[in-house]
Structure 1
Amino acid sequence: MTRYADLVERHGTPAYVYDLNRVEAARDDLFAALPEEFELFSAVKANPHPEVIRALRQGGNRACRAEISSTGELDAALSAGFDPGECLYTGPGKTDGELDEAIAKGVRMFSVESLTDLQHIGAVALRLGVVAQALLRINSASASATTSIRMTGAPSQFGIDSETLVEQIPLLRAVEGTEIVGAHFFPLSNARDEDALIGEFQHTIAQAARTFHDIGLDEPRFLDIGGGFSVPYAVPGERPVYGRLREALSQTLDEHFPRWREGFPKVACESGRYLVGDSGTLLAGVVNIKESRGRKFVILDAGINTFGGMSGLGRLLPVAVSPDTAGASPESVESWEKSSLVGPLCTPGDVLGRSVALPPLEAGDVIEIPNAGAYGPTSSLLMFLGRPAPVEIVVRGDEVVSVSRIEHHRTYA
């Protein structure tokens, strides 16, 4: 049931296969959907595999920058060839030790979540004799989209509440070792469609213009308007291509920032799942099949320790996982039996999907879970029960680029 039978035979399951051709196609499609002047950050958290993020960086004039949230992600970005000066360091819990390491290695741009966050950044920058560039992350009081995954408009550890920003500006500007150069917005994730995405970006750009006016930042140098680009997650489906986004963004920016084409401000978007989601396939082996009180359970060697995360949802598990139906006739798919797809762990929470339509299976079979390139091993309960991490196989079409596995070792002080 898998086109990767030769890889399964050589490397076993569970295994992820990432196709770099798909990574590069997603990068090129997203750049094509954005105005030419835009920069694009790749959210390393979505898939920090060095080969994957290296492919996103190697794009000539349209290469991605890196958005990182830890020194571990910084190391992954540096190993993939990213310049530390081109990285954006984000996150609400930046420790002094992390800031010390990041700034010493050359990171200069930080998304700032609060006055005290900026003070921590400034203290380290001052000690190291540099100036850190600050993007004020704004937690807007209002938003455009009413669906999708909201990332703003509520009490949050993320961002400075927009209604308090003006009164905080004198204190923010007084922080030594830092320079406020712009703003960072991230109002939603996984927009339901292109209209919702456009509407949110238009709302964000208008609010950014008002924000810069209100705080007296006459010539902001940088504006990150966030993301929201969608891709199917662990179910069959095609990655969307946004045909109207470029013109809509250009028109809105022309209205609110007449000099944006000259770089005042430089405008950026960011993306995680869109860039890497459809590049990945999870190969899971069927260990056992059982029935319990009228329900069938297909037990896999891949559970929530292998594929357990869905960033931004506030949930541990994906909503549903469905295997790839490529090659199966519609008539045969209609006759597939509904089963629960579960993993091997000793917890009733190890469920990848309920009432999943599956073909006749038996122990030893392998199923493919498509669109699994984002939020896979590193967003899962990787160490739970001490089971080995899945193999990660990077390919370019039919060529195998690398085979690796994450290993954990205890180190004693």
Structure 2
Amino acid sequence: MTGTSSVELACRYGSPLYVYDLALVRESCTNLRAVLPPGSRLYYSLKANPHPTIVACLLDLGCHLEVSSAGEVDVACAAGASPDRVLFTGPGKTRSAIEHALRVGVRRFSVESAGDLDRIATASLAHSTKAECLIRVNRDAPLAGGSLTMTGVSSQFGVDASLLMDRPELFGSRPGADISGFHLYAASNIADPARLAEQLYENAVIAAELSSATGIALREVDLGGGFPAPYAGRGTTLDVAELTGLAERLSSVWSCYDRPPLLSFESGRFLVATSGSLVAGVVDSKTSKGFTYVVLESGVNHLGGMSGLRKLPRPQPSVEVLGGADGLVRGSLVGPLCTPIDCLSSDVELPVVTEGDLIRIPDVGAYGLTASLIAFLGHPAPTEIVIDGADGVISASRLTIARTPVGPEPFRESP
């Protein structure tokens, strides 16, 4: 996507706006599949970007979907996913969410605890069906090198490997739930390809050892992901050439199996991160006590909301001024919200801009709008534009938040 096309889109649809390019989604998916074992399954994690056109594109590319809420179940179905291509994960699957998934035909779940398994089995029996479950495993050893570690430490995610070894009877198949394998997800955004390959191999070895020790047969092993991609123009993208040989190494784990399990992998950020940009206008450029602040019409309500809550590092975005800029200045890039947490980057080199200039922040196709604080202060959400390379605009839409009546009490709109 060129700067000129961004300006044209802003002139046509206004700003701020997110622009996603399906051609880049296809490119990322093709590159990732090239290093995965032949016949393996690739799940797209909707949490990265649930835009229905992007989800439909990845379905067309053969991806399955990993969802973590009733809302994501609905997005998957609306995008055209067959329920048998949906895996429901997450540590907080409520009874109502499980029942909703079962009602629409989802039968595959990742189990996070003995209680989670019991709830799924009970709900499946009530719907006269049987769920197919992977047991998510919390490895006993921690993993270094990821931006967000979710195994090897005390965690809400998964069943401790030691517990699974000591009490396998808690996690066996039963009426309503058939255990079909293991799910191991170590960390997100592992920058070092060698470390990424090693953790995928270690996950495979752990799955094989747990199967042997517990007697749980393996039809599928979800080895997780961790495939890195830049965020807001910063960070590392995966050079897939550096994972050459991964498929052969993983296959060696199953060399003694008459029927090796299906290997599956998950990716959110790698598949969609580079496909998206945020285009936003400059509201003001001001100096306070000798320090410059560039104020945008978008802030942590549209980008980096989790970083604004200090749950992730600030994005420190790479900023391109559309139309050129005259010089650089040291300062902070901030948004329009009435809170000091609305800071996209601080004490960095910024282009000299004036009111009305447009800036573009690249590589925000993952963990952008829906990972932000879109309800806070009531600013309108950016328009979301989907293009397909040179074919131009495929769709243009905007998320809205509406209040709807619930329960017997009358609902009255404010005057």
Query: 1:248-267 residue pairs with structure 2 within 5 A?
Result: 248-254=246-252, 256-258=253-255, 264-267=260-263
Amino acid at match of 2:104: K
Query: 1:278-297 residue pairs with structure 2 within 5 A?
Result: 278-297=274-293
Alpha-carbon spacing, 1:122–1:287, altered in 2? closer, same or farther (3 Å)? same
User: How many angstroms apart in 1 are the aligned matches of 2:365 and 2:159?
Assistant: 32
Task: State the Cα deviation string for residues 364-412 of structure 1 (Å, max 9, x = none).
Answer: 0010000010011111001000111111000012410010000111012
* Structure 2 residue 356 is the aligned partner of structure 1 residue 360: no
State the match for 2:21 in structure 1: 19
State the match for 1:50 in structure 2: 52
Amino acid at match of 1:353: S
**Bigger mean CA deviation after superposition, 29-38 or 220-229:** 29-38
* Structure 2 residue 171 is the aligned partner of structure 1 residue 159: no
The residue matched to 2:380 in structure 1 has which SS?
coil
Give 1:196 deviation, angstroms: 1.2
Alpha-carbon spacing, 1:226–1:101, altered in 2? closer, same or farther (3 Å)? same
State the match for 2:170 in structure 1: 171
State the match for 1:401 in structure 2: 394
Q: Is the 8 Å Cα contact of residues 284 and 300 (structure 1) preserved in structure 2?
A: yes
Q: TM-score, normalised by structure 2?
A: 0.92
User: How many angstroms apart in 2 are the aligned matches of 1:190 and 1:210?
Assistant: 26
Task: State the Cα deviation string for residues 216-260 of structure 1 (Å, max 9, x = none).
Answer: 12x410000000000110015774331142522322332x21267
Alpha-carbon spacing, 1:86–1:174, altered in 2? closer, same or farther (3 Å)? closer
The residue matched to 1:229 in structure 2 has which SS?
coil
User: How many angstroms apart in 1 are the aligned matches of 2:242 and 2:234?
Assistant: 24
Query: 1:96-245 residue pairs with structure 2 within 5 A?
Result: 96-173=95-172, 175-217=174-216, 219-235=217-233, 239-245=237-243
Q: Is the 8 Å Cα contact of residues 145 and 199 (structure 1) preserved in structure 2?
A: no
Give 1:323 deviation, angstroms: 1.0
User: How many angstroms apart in 2 are the aligned matches of 1:147 and 1:20?
Assistant: 27
User: How many angstroms apart in 2 are the aligned matches of 1:64 and 1:259?
Assistant: 29
User: How many angstroms apart in 2 are the aligned matches of 1:309 and 1:213?
Assistant: 43
Point out where structure 2 has 5 or more consecutive residues left out of the alignment: 407-415
Give 1:357 deviation, angstroms: 2.1
The residue matched to 2:373 in structure 1 has which SS?
coil
Q: Is the 8 Å Cα contact of residues 321 and 356 (structure 1) preserved in structure 2?
A: no
Query: 1:250-399 residue pairs with structure 2 within 5 A?
Result: 250-254=248-252, 256-258=253-255, 264-309=260-305, 315=311, 318-324=314-320, 336-398=328-390, 399=392
Q: Is the 8 Å Cα contact of residues 232 and 317 (structure 2) preserved in structure 1?
A: yes
State the match for 1:66 in structure 2: 65
Give 1:326 deviation, angstroms: 9.5
Q: Is the 8 Å Cα contact of residues 322 and 357 (structure 1) preserved in structure 2?
A: no
Alpha-carbon spacing, 1:269–1:326, altered in 2? closer, same or farther (3 Å)? farther
State the match for 1:92 in structure 2: 91
The residue matched to 1:56 in structure 2 has which SS?
helix
Give 1:40 deviation, angstroms: 0.3
Q: Is the 8 Å Cα contact of residues 286 and 364 (structure 1) preserved in structure 2?
A: yes
User: How many angstroms apart in 2 are the aligned matches of 1:43 and 1:146?
Assistant: 21
Amino acid at match of 1:302: S
Alignment length, in residue pairs? 402
Alpha-carbon spacing, 1:237–1:170, altered in 2? closer, same or farther (3 Å)? closer
Alpha-carbon spacing, 1:33–1:214, altered in 2? closer, same or farther (3 Å)? same
User: How many angstroms apart in 2 are the aligned matches of 1:327 and 1:207?
Assistant: 53
Give 1:318 deviation, angstroms: 2.8
User: How many angstroms apart in 1 are the aligned matches of 2:259 and 2:380?
Assistant: 48
Q: Is the 8 Å Cα contact of residues 183 and 223 (structure 1) preserved in structure 2?
A: yes
User: How many angstroms apart in 2 are the aligned matches of 1:144 and 1:374?
Assistant: 23
Q: Is the 8 Å Cα contact of residues 130 and 176 (structure 2) preserved in structure 1?
A: yes
State the match for 2:410 in structure 1: none
Amino acid at match of 2:385: I
Alpha-carbon spacing, 1:400–1:366, altered in 2? closer, same or farther (3 Å)? same
Point out where structure 1 has 5 or more consecutive residues left out of the alignment: none
Q: Runs of 4+ in structure 1 displaced over 3 angstroms?
A: 143-148, 236-239, 324-328
